[in-house]
Structure 1
Amino acid sequence: MSTPLLGYVDRPGPLHTLTGTAKLVLVIGIVGAAMISFDARFLAALAVASIVLWAASRIRPGDLAVVLWIVGTFMVLNNLLIFAFAPGYGTDLFGTRHVLIDGPGRWDLTSEQLFYQAVVTLKYFAVMPAMLLFITTTRPPEFASSLSRIGVPYRVSYSVSLALRYIPDVQRDFRTISQAQQARGLDTSKRQRLGVRIRNLVSVLLPLLLGALERIETVSSAMELRGFGREKRRTWFDERPFRARDLVVIAVAALLVAGAIALVVLNGGRYWNPFA
């Protein structure tokens, strides 16, 4: 079977050896630091660190090709929409105006706007690799135990774990139903016109949705029969004790957040202004 669209990749590397809690705290630290600070230097350092983590994780870009394509498309679309609806936001933000290209109407390309949108793009490179790495290097049961360990109610933790666990199953069912429908003459490939492909795709999604609802009902009934949710706390089979490397990772996450807060104080705001 092919690699899941988004899920655990069983190719052990350095990140696989960390506890789920340590990895989760690291991701929260990276995301929190990126949200707090808009300093381009800090975001560039986070982006480089995320890319280095990716290189060391043994996760290949092909394992998440579809997800990376979706994220990349959204990133480009986000930048285009920012420029379309707020082409002067960078100028208003930094208080100066250096025109690079004299465009029609108010759509002049300025250094300030280009720099602002580069900062927005850096946020994607700083946050997304770390988040995807956490999902691909953490098994769903360990993910659930890590959420519970940081204080998330175990009912919510287990629900998240189930959702991630069934992504490969849904992907497999989609492939099976699609192949069955193609055998009946419903082609969803690029050879068909877009309208025909969409109509044929509905014939695939409907049984997929009904099968997913049936699976949800089965799992819910099984969990209810076993008394899930009756107790206020529960133990986890995949919960592992912290080791030195886990404590180091948690400390790094705390330092990232502290560094982002310190930069806000030093810069007198969330942005670093190179045009001042």
Structure 2
Amino acid sequence: MSKGGGIYVAGDSWVHRLDGAVKLILWLIWTVVVFMFLDLRLFAVMIAIGVALLWSARIPLRKMAFLFWFLIFFTFTNAIFILLITPTFGTTLTGTNTPLIPLGYNTINKETLFYVLTLSAKYITLLPLTLVFILTTHPSRFAASLNKVGVPYKIAYAVSIAFRYIPDLTQEFKHILNSLSARGLGITKEDGTIAQRMKNLTLVVVPLLQSSLHHIDAVSNAMDLRGFGAHPKRTWYMGMKMSSVDKTVLLFILLLLALAIYLKVSVLKGFWYPL
């Protein structure tokens, strides 16, 4: 397993010290709230709160780079497809049509452009809390927290192992890809056409799958030898009691959910379009 506890980034911030189950509940409710609304004003406030939490965790930028650029790429691609396939979709939400960018077969209107901006902000709003949850939660501590709130310890331990092995699989993928590149089967521009490079990339799947199965078998045997699952309950080396900060954050989460429900029912009922 990864020496550093998987993708976990060690630290001593108050975010790192939060109970893993509390962070999971925060992330889940945050996600629910985000998908309840289509309001750019609300997303701007939530992004600011999320960035503040992420900044307080003091996570190095290089640790966040991959997930950040992946989400940006996904958001940009999604926006382009919406604008090209449904250039007047915003009209169905606002009832108005303000032509803006001619495409030949249709015209992108201002309403759709604002809708795409709002939708992109929705996805970006999820990023800070997702990074906080993934990068500041130690797998073993998280498993102990899940077990503490009622999740069976076998499932909790499976989640812990999954978190730990993500970086190992990434490293194994790089090793296999380097081996194939040494044999002239790389995926760079110098290795052929796009079709050939995609074919070379598929050659990674079989050895990566074999390596993963080998790891699974080794871990399963080691756990069986240690009597894992023989008892209905187990103790946790990294188990912790909820602190006053954990309880305060949990209260904040419940207030956030209550406020979101009130806003959805009484104030921000639909798509917000100011223009």
Q: Same fold (TM over 0.5)?
A: yes
TM-superposed deviation, 1:186: 4.5
Quick check: 162-171 or 79-88, which moved more?
79-88
Which one-letter code corresponds to 2:148 in the other structure? R
Which one-letter code corresponds to 1:90 in the other structure? G
> Within 1, Cα distance between the matches of 2:255 and 2:248?
10
TM-superposed deviation, 1:200: 4.1
User: Structure 2 unaligned runs (5+)?
Assistant: none
TM-superposed deviation, 1:190: 4.2
Is the CA contact 2:22–2:249 (under 8 Å) kept in the aligned structure 1?
Answer: yes
- Are 1:135 and 2:130 matched, yes or no? no
> Within 2, Cα distance between the matches of 1:20 and 1:254?
17
Residue 118 (structure 2) aligns with: 119
TM-superposed deviation, 1:221: 2.7
Alignment of 1:190-205 (within 5 A): 190-193=189-192, 194-205=194-205
- Are 1:58 and 2:41 matched, yes or no? no
Quick check: 170-179 or 208-217, which moved more?
170-179
SS at match of 1:241: coil
Percent identical: 36
CA shift in 2, pair 1:268/1:43, >3 Å:
closer
TM-superposed deviation, 1:34: 0.7
Residue 168 (structure 1) aligns with: 167
> Within 1, Cα distance between the matches of 2:254 and 2:273?
25
> Within 2, Cα distance between the matches of 1:180 and 1:198?
16
* 1:63-105 Cα distance to aligned partner (Å, 9 max, x none): 1322222221111111122223332222111222233334434
- Are 1:148 and 2:147 matched, yes or no? yes
Quick check: 254-263 or 202-211, which moved more?
202-211
TM-superposed deviation, 1:162: 0.6
TM-superposed deviation, 1:12: 3.7
Which one-letter code corresponds to 2:258 in the other structure? A
Is the CA contact 1:148–1:154 (under 8 Å) kept in the aligned structure 2?
Answer: yes
> Within 2, Cα distance between the matches of 1:234 and 1:273?
54
CA shift in 2, pair 1:246/1:168, >3 Å:
same
Is the CA contact 2:31–2:126 (under 8 Å) kept in the aligned structure 1?
Answer: yes
Is the CA contact 2:71–2:124 (under 8 Å) kept in the aligned structure 1?
Answer: no
Is the CA contact 1:19–1:242 (under 8 Å) kept in the aligned structure 2?
Answer: yes
Computed over aligned residues only, the root mean square deviation of the Cα atoms, in angstroms, reads: 2.7
User: Structure 1 unaligned runs (5+)?
Assistant: none
> Within 1, Cα distance between the matches of 2:273 and 2:171?
49
SS at match of 2:191: coil
* 1:28-77 Cα distance to aligned partner (Å, 9 max, x none): 22112112222222111111111122222221332132222222111111
> Within 1, Cα distance between the matches of 2:190 and 2:162?
33
CA shift in 2, pair 1:225/1:15, >3 Å:
same
Higher RCO (C-alpha 8 Å, min separation 6): 1
> Within 1, Cα distance between the matches of 2:102 and 2:127?
34
TM-superposed deviation, 1:139: 1.0
> Within 2, Cα distance between the matches of 1:20 and 1:28?
12
* 1:184-208 Cα distance to aligned partner (Å, 9 max, x none): 5554444322444444444444322
> Within 2, Cα distance between the matches of 1:186 and 1:104?
42
TM-score scaled to structure 1, two decimals?
Answer: 0.85
Which one-letter code corresponds to 1:149 in the other structure? K
TM-superposed deviation, 1:10: 2.2
TM-superposed deviation, 1:273: 4.4
CA shift in 2, pair 1:198/1:90, >3 Å:
closer
Quick check: 181-190 or 214-223, which moved more?
181-190
Residue 241 (structure 1) aligns with: 241
Q: How many residues align?
A: 272
> Within 1, Cα distance between the matches of 2:202 and 2:99?
49
